[in-house]
Structure 1
Amino acid sequence: MKKKLTTLKDKIVFITGASTGLGEKIAYEAAKKGAVVIVSARREDMLLQVKENCEKFSGKEAFAFTLDVSKPDQIKKVIKEIYQTVGVVDVLVNNAGFGHFEEALSFKMDIAESMFRVNVLGLMYVTQLVAIEMAERKQGHIINIASQAGKIATPKSTVYSASKFAVLGYSNALRLELKPLNIYVTTVNPGPIETNFFDIADESGTYLDNIGRYVLNAEVVANRIVSLMGTPRRELNMPAMIEIAGKLYTLFPRIGDYLAGDLFNNK
């Protein structure tokens, strides 16, 4: 990828956490562009349906692999199978992840550990194994789905924000390491997206209603992500209002604390 890809046709796009939500929508958008789509997730029945839908959109074979990214041995096995049955990956989208909103003093640490195994360590394991092959070819694109929560931490998001801060730090350093190898690294930092993510993250069931106009449409976000595949885009931040707030948070941290603790505290 010495220059921007003009087409995704026949390019191999591998998406983790693709059985529902944003990952599912990314898979469909990539398929519509003619990509060979590989989807992975824990729920095999839902994953197979996504695979079938991708084949309808692309008119070519798609692939599904059951994968729990919290388990390194599974990751190694699945990626080996991908190389043997499909081929080397052109674009990796690390989308697998989950959140849970609760105050730090009552947060169950087994959930915190699970969150880091999925959101951070799983992403690192997958990335390393795929990037090794990309480095040999000196081309590829890694897209890590982070979050605006990795830029602006708010009450009840201590553990989730910490995991996404970690994703951003890892991605920023990885981008510099892989740049000489002609491999792009992009972080996607969306605000709240209307998906089943909040079925787990928000037990109250009121968060999306509370933030109203800031809620993003999954198809819109997926379309933006697919449009930047094969380009050296550093970050994608959505929506614009929260992106501006993130920049103000960095420049004016005291005001940022007020915004995060009061104005944006809707959990």
Structure 2
Amino acid sequence: MKFNEGMLKADALKGKNILVTGGGTGLGRSMSTYFLHLGATLIITSRKLDVLQQAATEMEQETGGKVVALACDVRDAEAVERMYAEAVAAVGDIDVVLNNAAGNFISPTERLSTNAFNTVLDIVLKGTSQVTLTVGKDWIQKKRRALF
């Protein structure tokens, strides 16, 4: 991917640690790469560690930035807490969270199962809530102020 200057100035995110769920593929990877170009350190998560590690290596080679790949199923609150503790141990305090993890099934409504629908809700709604709650509790405990 070729870097095109966007809305933010060069080094706008220098010194910031950003956690991106679903950061190894698609939009999450694109946004993560942009953040790296702006100087951020990244933590990318998803369920597939091999995909994350490959994406992290490629993004580091492209940008010269630092990417930490951590496997996490955002549907599992305990896994989210473990991932967050590992992220903080790896890079220090997290400054920004981008909840991007998603589950999608391309299916006509009449063939969409209840289990598939519930999986989408568990990832998109509950996963986003669990990540936000975990990070928010840490920020409140540390009396973190707004970044911008």
TM-score (norm 1): 0.48
Residue 88 of structure 1 corresponds to which residue in structure 2?
93
1: CA distance between counterparts of 2:18 and 2:100?
12
Q: What secondary structure is seen at the aligned counterpart in 1 of 2:69?
A: strand
Q: Which runs of 5+ in 1 are unaligned?
A: 141-229, 231-267
Structure 1 residue 15 corresponds to structure 2 residue 32? no
1:64-96 CA deviation, whole Å, 9 max, x = no partner?
Answer: 101111122211111111122211111111000
User: 2:144 is matched by which residue type in structure 1?
Assistant: R
Alignment partner, residue 136 of structure 2: 131
CA RMSD of aligned residues (A): 2.1
For 1:137, what is the secondary structure of its paired residue?
A: coil
- 5+ residue gaps, structure 2, are 1-7
Q: Does 1:54 align with 2:59?
A: yes
Rg larger in structure: 1
* Counterpart residue identity of residue 126, structure 2: L
Partner secondary structure for residue 47 of structure 1: helix
Contact 1:69 1:118 in 2 (8 A): yes
Q: Distance in 2 between matches of 1:51 and 1:127?
A: 23
TM-score, normalised via structure 2 length: 0.82
Matches of 1:43 and 1:123, distance apart in 2? 18
Q: How many Å separate the matches in 1 of 2:91 and 2:131?
A: 16
Aligned pairs for 1:147-226 (under 5 A) are none
Matched residues, percent identical?
25
Which aligned segments of 4 or more residues in structure 1 are displaced greater than 6 angstroms?
Answer: none
Give 1 or 2: higher helix fraction. 1
Please tell me whether residue 71 in structure 1 is matched to residue 84 in structure 2. no
Deviation at 1:49, TM superposition (A): 1.6
Once residues 113 and 98 of structure 1 are traced to their aligned partners in structure 2, the CA distance between those partners, rounded to angstroms, is: 10
Equivalent residue runs for 1:77-116 within 5 Å: 77-100=82-105, 101-103=107-109, 106-116=111-121
After TM superposition, give the deviation of residue 106 of structure 1 in Å. 4.5
Measured after TM superposition, the shift of residue 97 of structure 1 is: 0.4
> What number of residue pairs does the alignment pair up?
137
For the Cα contact (< 8 Å) 1:70–1:118, is it kept in 2? yes
* Larger RCO (CA within 8 A; separation ≥ 6): 2
